[in-house]
Amino acid sequence: MDLTKEYIAQLEEHLATGQLDSVKEDIATLHPADAAEIIEELDEEVVAEFFALFDDERSADILMELEEDTRESIVSQLTTHEIANEILYNLDSDDAADFIAELDEETKDKVIDEIEDIERAKTIVDLLNYPEDTAGGLMAKELIRVNENWSVLTCVREMRRQAENIEEVHTVYVVDDDERLVGTLSLKKLLTNSTKTKVSQIFNPTVISVKAAMDDEEVAVIMQKYDLVVLPVIDDLGRLLGRITIDDVLDVMKEEAERDYQMASGISESVESSDDLLRLTRARLPWLLVGMFGGVFAAQLLDLFSLEENGRMGLFIPLIAAMGGNVGVQSAAIIVQSLANETLKNSSITTKLGKEFGVGLLNGAIISVLVFGLSQLLGWEILLATTVSIALFAVIIFAALFGTFVPLVLDKYGVDPALATGPFITTTNDVIGLCIYFGIGKVILGF
């Protein structure tokens, strides 16, 4: 659907004038994600009326597609009974738990008390006990499980019963008598074997699983590494607890990418453009202060090296700072990406530093030669050209090593290495790069 301004205006007019039949016809086959996008564009006065046109199942899916602020606004107009038995009833257990987790404590307790299906209430409460950023916090309880001692006939009968409450069947999991996960069962084996055959004779014992306490980012790495669309979750005893689907992991990867991007931009906490001024300021100010103090320190360095007597060197400060900052951020970005993908597990810090030293050496040599050649074409003094070229060579090598070393150290001590790709690297490289530049200038130009 093409969500033009004209379409939104026409829709608002129909809602305001009570032409609901026309609206219902338009939204009959509307995907929940498209419906959510429309709601985000509508005036607040007609949102509730538009949302009420959907049945309970689609309403629940639409709510999960909305931005948090919009969802909160709509939910505030629903009763706890409607939330419990119309919205939560039509959500998978993991989405239901996420939905309830956003409510305040008082409303949360009232909604749970209103859930008519006791087993479902127990399932949701159980999921709420897992931290949000763990495999347990991502998993849903809905899955198909069969016992290894069942016959194919029993297995089919039980699968039909279990599938009634599951929207999509990705995998059939096989457990033993103690509910420990022992493998998976393919539909092909189920269809091509005798009804009297035992599951233990035909299931696949090779299965990749994760424990409930595993960090959600590690879960994402595993699913990406093995190209999985669904991943079973077990407890410390190996008992099957639930399963994580790829859509949940994609959300984790998106959130992590957004968080890393904000950190790399010098934003110290996760924020949205719709957040209040105080929160936005608090998130941005810390690294701005770091940059400010770095700039003040750099100014003191310029004064220390008597820039007024060596004005020619001042012309190349932007070049030195830009090259050092760019090289440092490039090196840090590659290391952070490798750490996120866990491709550095078998590499030592020394090995990685050695490789980046080689890269810095090659890049530094090429750029220094180019700068020196350009300087001769532009008629610079030979000593000044030599100073700038050698300083660039040294600054590029230092920036490559520093940009590699910092994220590796941060990761080793449990600090998010994405911090290294932002103002910390650029500010430090500016200061140290200027020290290198003027130190070399002092030696060559003798000021």
pLDDT in tens, 250-296: 888 887 777 766 666 656 566 666 666 787 777 777 767 777 887 78
Residue 273 CA from chain centroid, whole number:
17
Provide the residue range defining the domain that includes 40: 5-132
Query: How confident is the model at residue 157, as a pLDDT?
Result: 92
> What pLDDT shows up at residue 348?
72
pLDDT given at position 274: 60
135 within 8 A of 214, measured Cβ to Cβ? yes
Are both 104 and 198 inside the same structural domain?
A: no
Which parts of 19-165 are beta strand (E)? 144-147
Q: Quick check: 398 and 436 in contact, CB under 8 A?
A: yes
Residue 268 within a domain = no
Q: Is 50 among the domain residues? A: yes
**Tokens at residue 194, please?**
């005798």
Do 166 and 114 have their domain in common?
Answer: no
pLDDT score at 27: 84
Statement to judge: residues 294 and 378 lie in one domain: yes
Residue that terminates a domain, selected from 97, 132, 167:
132
Among 366, 393, 388, 392, which Cα is nearest to 378's? 388
Q: Can you give the pTM of this predicted structure?
A: 0.70
DSSP letters spanning 283-339: HHHHHHHHHHHHHHHHHHHHHHTTGGG-HHHHTTHHHHHHHHHHHHHHHHHHHHHHH
284 and 425 housed in the same domain: yes
Phi and psi at residue 175, in whole multiples of 5°? -125, 160
**What pLDDT shows up at residue 5?**
79
Computed on alpha carbons and rounded to an integer, the radius of gyration of the chain in Å comes to: 30
**Are 294 and 427 contacting, i.e. CB atoms less than 8 angstroms apart?**
yes
What pLDDT does residue 353 have? 84
Taking all residues of the chain, what is their mean pLDDT, rounded to a whole number?
A: 85
Same domain? 301 vs 367: yes
Helices (H) and strands (E) in the chain, counts: 21, 6
Report the pLDDT value the prediction gives residue 270, as an integer from 0 to 100.
66
Tell me, yes or no, whether 149 and 109 share the same domain: no
Same domain for 153 and 124, yes or no, is: no
**pLDDT (tens digit per residue) in 209-259:** 999 999 998 999 899 889 999 999 999 999 999 999 998 888 888 877 777
Burial annotation 112-127 (CB, 10 A radius, 16+ → b, else e): bebbeeeebbebbeeb
**Spans of the chain, pLDDT less than 50:** none
Q: Which of 89, 109, 132 is the last residue of a domain?
A: 132
Instruction: Indicate the number of domains in the chain.
Output: 3
Q: Residue 92: which CATH number?
A: 1.25.60.10
**Residue 418: both structure tokens together:** 């994405």
- Same domain, yes or no: 228 and 288: no
CATH number at residue 233: 3.10.580.10
The per-residue pLDDT for 241 is 96
| Residues 17 and 126 grouped into a single domain | yes
Is 336 part of a structural domain of the chain? yes
